[in-house]
Structure formats: structure tokens, C-alpha cells
A and B are shown apart, each in its own frame.
Chain A
């Protein structure tokens, strides 16, 4: 194609929030001959405002970053931060910043976003009256919170509640003051709003509705020590130390307003279908733009606008035609969903309501007069139906004859979820990146044949991740429809999944690998199926792992009950439950390390690892350790590793429960449990979370009233924060839930699948897991508990059993024909007062010297 050489267009983008950055990102992908300049008022490049509250959970500003100065620089984008644009000169086609710099443009893109609305309340301008919008705001809130015991959020909308959660997490008594009669009035109807209030009050947040603040004055007059008093009326006030305003947003439309661009009745720079303002060289996108007299205050529509504005510079122009404002989110751990006409304002509409005050669940659907189309929905306390309802809503799919079945609990005859086959090609699967079922089908037809390929190719499910289960089901369905059998066999010897093998062994009472292979497998097995089956047999029957029929199935680590290191030597990790150890035992570890020439190191799981043991020394080392009262630590096995703990209420000024005691109990209960992958746990004595329980497969954090249980966290290559599963549990319930959770995971996970990935692949996700474990939806809880009790009851220290068995000890000989000889390839050098394996160069030198 011949191209005409035209002068390079200058594109200036004002504002570097999420939408402004998305515009630049999309523009770069078009590879047009343009010169891009970005001007941001904040001192840092774009960051993820949606997950802003995670700042209080310990996320650093740089972890929220969406881009960097280096990225812009390397892509030829000129970027200026911390210098807001002050003036727009339309005649001259240039903008001027506060510091007086002037940038000429050919096309201007306004992505200035919005600012928090602060009601004009007398006395409301103070250092401890803040807003919640930017990273700098968060810093101010955090430092103000350190001086406060009570905090008030003005505004009971989505952001306000998120902010209340942040205050609560900062250890403050949190209040929400709302002018309207209910919380989240935009997204929820009256019933949903009431249920939400009930739930968040139960979480310890105080809610005050129908309250207008008349005045803010100095507090403490009644001896409360509070710094502020909010006056609502005569004899009606609230004392607090700090106030955060989160009473809605207002578009930053000043630039456009002053330059004479048309402004919407409710603010915002008016744009057309092309996101063009009344000046054809100026675009406005995101929260500063008004389309159809509406400000779209969500990120997905903002992204759409950015893409539409970019497309105007290309040959394939697209249009913006409004956007769906349905939303699903978690507020203070409460699931809230809102779809379409949540208030049932459409003429002739009919509602169905399901309310369960015991479980605190509220669901309402609004359907058309003929009962065929879904017009809206409200979900509080349980969002498991959201995805299905959203698909009905967005795609106009005809409702079943009894629409109420869509929100009734399964036991009451609830309808099955909408399957992937029923979705039309136009159905949006991922709303963050606007990926339709059609684009997924195209990607598959274009050669993608795994979930990972499709994610990389379409970007689906790489935004908020909320659609991951839906995406998987669509991909699986489409692949299967094309005859691509999604082969889930564990290996070539068994045409079965790990879960199938587990069920078969259980139902047919198979107790050996050979029995299973004879009946259900082929060939001789391999290093994949043998250890997997050994693990399943251990979970089911818990025999001694070195029993003759099992020993040769084990990976070398399990076979020699130690961890093989790079030079063929082993490391030894005795169990130190909860990380608590007596001085005498510490001395034994030191003595053993010294006697056998071992390198010693403290592990991340609060234990001591002894490295460099030759195979033939393992029995002697363990004899000494067992005599001193140590047990095996299963560091070699796919099994429970450690339960880390902080010192808790016994020593710590802040501890509210005995975290060490609980950690020791948990570690002793589950030690030896074989599982699809290793399992880690931790118990923290208070919300300061020193034991890092939220990075564990199951983590426990003490509260004033008991324990909060977090599930499916993970450090490692792909870290994942654990999800809050249940709150304020007593000891007994905590253990009951962990029993059920672990056994359910052991039964259903794939080989080498950590709990985090398992949960991500579990259809229905966390809500489903709650139904199984708390509500016993599958009716298997008694069985799971019995199975766990059987495993706990048959525990044995494998090393103790082994050192008492001369036949087994023979296996630890380095050479069958030279019992005293050692592996002369193992060569150590000294470093920092300890031994380590020699590297290749040192080896050559040492061998040359000794020759």
C-alpha cells in the first residue's frame, strides 16, 4: 500500500490516569506516525486506582503502577509529570502548564478525570478532613489515622464503603455517614441496601443514614478526647478524630469550560459518538467527559472511550454508544452485584425477590412485563449468580419459564447456570478488555488451543480476573466442540485425571500401585504417575511410605526421607511445630550439624535446614535427632510443611489470641498429610499479621472474638493473597473447616496443583467453596472429617519407623558392595565458616591439587 508522506501529527494527552494511559497504550499499538506528549498533574505515572485500597493492605505505590517513565521514554512518548495543564488555547492549538511550559498540538485528548466532591460544610476545611482519590490522599489518610482512634467517611457509596474498610484495616473505629436513606443508593434497591447495612454493621462499621452535616466543630467538649464533632442537628452529633469525604465525584472539566467547549448539564465535557468535543481537534475521554448527559465513573467504559478516540486517527473508526454500568464487587468482604435497572423503574416490570436473613443474602431480579427479558438485578451477600444474570441481561437471552429459579438456592430448585453453549457470539466474556465470545472463537480457529494461548492472544481475563471461570468454560466447550479433546490424563500410563484415580482407589479400595495399574492402567508407570499414586494412597490409607509396595513409587526425596540437593547430597529438616523450640533442642541441632559437617540455615518457615548430608549418614543423623525428641519435618514430601506463627498474646503487646499454641496444634494435627502439592500455613496473633498468614495455603489470623480463616494463598513464583473465607471462628469450628478444606483439596486437585491454582480453576470459586465447606452443599462434610480423622489417627514419624527397621536402613547404603565408601564426587569448600558444594572451577583446582 502506498502511503502519502504527511507531517508527523502532534498528539497531546492531558491527564495520565488509568484512561489517559490506556489511550497512549492503544495509540502506540497502532504504530501511527505520531508524536505523543503526555502531561500528568500527579507526580507519578498512571497507576491502578481501582485497587487503590490495597495500598492499606501493604501494597506499595510502585506495585499499583500501570506504566513507568522508562516505558514512555523507550516508546518515544514525551511524558511530563507533576505539572498540571492550566490553560487551553484553542485558536493557537496549544496548552500551557502551571510552570509555564507550552505544548502545541494537532489533536488534543483530555483525560483529566474527576475529583472528589466535598460538600461545602462550615468548618470542613481542616488538616484532618481529607478526600480519597489519589495515592497522595492515601498517604495523608494513613498518617492522620496514626493520630486517630475514630474515623468518619462521609458518603455511603461504593468508594465511601471501600474507604471505611481502609479505616477499619488501619485499626480505627469506622463510621459511615450518608445523606440518603440507604447505602449505595445508585446500585442497590432498598432491600439490597438494608441487607448490606446489616452485614457491614456486623463487621463493626457504624452506619448513619439520612444525616446531613450542618457544621464541623472542635470535638472533645464532652470529655471524649475526640478532635472533631460533626453536627447533624440539635442534640444530634458524632464525635471523631478524622473525616474523609467520599460523596461522589465531579468531572475535571475546567479546561474545556474555560476554553468554551460545551459542558453537560451535570458537568463534564460533552462528547459525541467519536468521543470528540465541540472542537473537532479535541477529544475527551473517561470521567471528564459527558456522553448523553452521563458521566461514566467506571474504568471499563473509560477504556472503551479511549479505544474509540484512538480509532478516529485510523482507517477503522469505531463508535462509543454508552456502556453497561453493571458491577460486581466486594465491599468489606461482602459480595455486592448490581445489573441494569436495579431499582425496577422500567415501566411494567416485575420483580422477584429472595431474602434470607439468617445467611444474610438478598437477591432481586427485575424482568420485563412478558417475563422474557432480564432488565436488572441486585445481589447482596452472594454474587454466585452474577455472571449468569449478566449474560442474560447483556445478550437479551430469553429467560426460563420460571425466572425466579435463577436466584433461588440450588436446594429450592434453582436453575442450572447458563452454559457456554447458550451464549451468543456477541456475548461479552471479559468486560475489562471487551473480549466477546466471538473473539475467543476466532482465536481458537486461529490456532490457539490452550487457555494460556487464548489469554495471551485476546487479553481476556487479564484485567480484574472476574471472568476467569466463565472464560475457562467457554474455552473448554469450544475446544471440545472442535474435537480437540482436552486431554487431562495424568500421563501415558493412565487415561485418567488425578481426581479419577483418587475416586477409583477409594471406591475399589485399591491399596497398591500394581493393583491400580493392573485394573486401570497400561505399561509400567513412570516418574509422574508413581509418586502421584503414592500420594493418593497415603491420603487414603496412610500406610508407611517406605513399605515395600510403596517405596519404589516415591520420588527420591520421599524414598530417602530427605531433600536431594544439586550435588546428590541431602538436606535434613526436623519438624519444629509453630517455630517454637527449646534451647536444649537448638543445642542438639547445632551438635548434629557440627558432628556430620552440615551447612545450617534458618528456613522461611521457622525451621532449621541442615545441608550436605550423604545418603549413608542420614540414618545416624536421624537416630540422634529422634532420640532428642525431633520428628521428621516432611520437607521432602508433598505434604504439610510448616505452620509459622508470631508469639501472639503470650508475649506481644498487641496479640489477642495464643497464636503459637494454635499453630502448634494445627501443625501437629496435619503433619504427615500427603497432598497434591506441598501445604503451608501460618497463624498470626493479631491483624498486624506478622506470621504472613495471608500468603499461605491456609492462614489463620486472630481477632478479638476468635479466628479469621484465609484460604488458598501462595508465595512463590506467582504470589496470591489468600481469600478471607470465614470470620470470628471458635477453635473447634476453625479446625472443622480446615479439616474439610484440606480433604476436599486433596480429593479434587490436580497433581502438583497448589491450592491457589486449584481455587482459580474451581468452578464457582470461593462462593462455591464456602457452600461445600460451610453449608455442606455436597453432603460430604462428615465424610471429609472422618477421612481427616483417620489420617490424623494413623500418623507415624517416618524416620522413627525407619531407624527401627534394619531392612529399610540397608537402602541408605551409598554402595551395596562397599558399605564404608563415600561418594568421592561430593566436594565441599568453606565459605563464611561453613561448607558448601564446590563450583565447577573450584572442583578443577581441588582435583588438580590432590592429583
Chain B
């Protein structure tokens, strides 16, 4: 279990570690977080859990990003379900969702709220 400490921003990496229009994975307190960098969007960074609850593996950071009817999504590389980058909801099955993390860019630094 993640122990939440309110409003503490932890630096994860720099923008140079991110991949444009795709995801990378970082580890925070033993949890795997998928961070997506979409330079043309506002905000430019998004973070959801790396765990794919359908495929049951840590893979979401390796999915393809895009949009479905305007909703920013990543498609699981295993079975192609779409997860909203803003809400974590699975578009194919509203009963499934993944945790969403607060993430911001501070200059070159990528900060996540823990």
C-alpha cells in the first residue's frame, strides 16, 4: 500500500527522460507509475498506474497514446483496452479503472504528488 503524504511533490526525472507522445515508467514508493508526455496538450504530462488490470502486468507505459472521440487515452499493449489519461477509466468497461497520479513539470523537472 502506498502511504499518502498530502501535497508533497517528489522529483522523478527530467523532461529529457520522457518520450514525446509516448510513456515511460517510474517507480515511486514501490509503485510503478506510467508517465506520458504529450507536448501539444495542456497539461503536457499525465500519470496513471503502470499496472494493466485486465492484462495483469506492468505494461501501460508501453502502450500507444492518442484520443478516442477527444478523450486522451493510452491503449494497453496487451489487449488494447483504452484507459483515459485524465480519469483512469477504461473506455470499454466503466467498472474498470486505474489510479491517476498528480504530475507537473517544474522547469526541466518532472514532479509527482505523493
Contact = CB atoms under 8 A, between A and B. Distances in A.
Nearest to A615: B62
A555 B77 contact: yes
Contact of B68 (A526, A556, A823): A526
B22 A816 contact: no
A811 B19 contact: yes
Contacts of A566: 55, 57, 78
A815 B26 contact: yes
B12 A568 contact: no
Interface in A793-822: 810-811, 813-818, 821
Interface string B68-92: 1110110101101000000000000
Contacts of B48: none
Contact of B13 (A548, A559, A817): A817
Interface residues of A, number: 36
Interface string B4-29: 00000000110001111110111100
B12 A567 contact: no
A548 B67 contact: no
Among A525, A531, A552, the one with the most B-chain Cβ atoms within 10 Å of its Cβ is A552
B46 to A, nearest CB: 13
A524 interface: yes
Contact of A552 (B26, B64, B77): B64
B67 A524 contact: yes
A390 interface: no
Contact of A815 (B27, B57, B64, B68): B27
Contacts of B27: 815, 817-818, 821
B64 A816 contact: no
Given A492-B69, A817-B27, A552 B21 contact: yes
Nearest to A821: B27
Contact of A564 (B19, B26, B62): B62
B66 A523 contact: yes
B40 to A, nearest CB: 8
Contacts of B67: 523-526
Contacts of A823: 32, 58
Given A526-B66, A526-B68, A556-B62, A815 B25 contact: yes
Contact of A817 (B26, B68, B70, B78): B26
A526 B26 contact: no
A825 B57 contact: yes
A553 interface: yes
Q: Is the interface of B mostly helix, strand, loop or mixed?
A: strand
Interface residues of B, number: 36
A817 B20 CA distance: 17
B44 to A, nearest CB: 13
Given A556-B59, A564-B77, A825-B58, A816 B65 contact: no
Contacts of A530: 64, 66
Contacts of A813: 24
A551 B19 contact: yes
A557 B80 CA distance: 13
A527 interface: yes
Contact of A551 (B22, B25, B66): B22
Contacts of B38: 524
Contacts of A554: 64
A492 B91 CA distance: 15
Contacts of A548: 20
Nearest to B57: A568
A532 to B, nearest CB: 11
A527 B17 CA distance: 23
A823 B25 CA distance: 10
Contact of A531 (B17, B59, B64): B64
A560 interface: yes
Nearest to B55: A566
A103 B70 CA distance: 72
Among A493, A527, A553, the one with the most B-chain Cβ atoms within 10 Å of its Cβ is A527
Contact of A816 (B17, B57, B75): B17
Among A523, A548, A554, A556, the one with the most B-chain Cβ atoms within 10 Å of its Cβ is A556
Nearest to A524: B67
B39 to A, nearest CB: 11
Given A526-B64, A566-B78, A817-B12, A552 B22 contact: yes
Interface string B48-60: 0001000101110
Interface string A495-538: 00000000000000000000000000001111101110000000
Contacts of B78: 564, 566, 568
B13 A556 contact: no
A555 B58 contact: no
A109 B40 CA distance: 76
A701 to B, nearest CB: 38
Contacts of B70: 523
A566 to B, nearest CB: 7
A808 to B, nearest CB: 11
Interface in A823-851: 823, 825
B65 to A, nearest CB: 7
A54 B58 CA distance: 49
A267 B79 CA distance: 63
Given A523-B70, A568-B57, A823-B32, A560 B62 contact: yes
Contacts of B55: 566, 568
Contacts of A568: 55, 57-59, 62, 78
B26 to A, nearest CB: 5
A553 B64 contact: yes
Among B18, B55, B68, B80, the one with the most A-chain Cβ atoms within 10 Å of its Cβ is B68
Contacts of B35: 816
Contacts of A552: 19-22, 64-65
11 contacts: A526-B66, A526-B73, A551-B19, A552-B21, A555-B77, A559-B22, A564-B77, A568-B58, A811-B19, A816-B18, A825-B58
Q: Which 9 A-B pairs have the closest CB atoms?
A: A556-B77, A527-B75, A526-B66, A568-B57, A552-B22, A527-B64, A816-B17, A524-B67, A816-B13
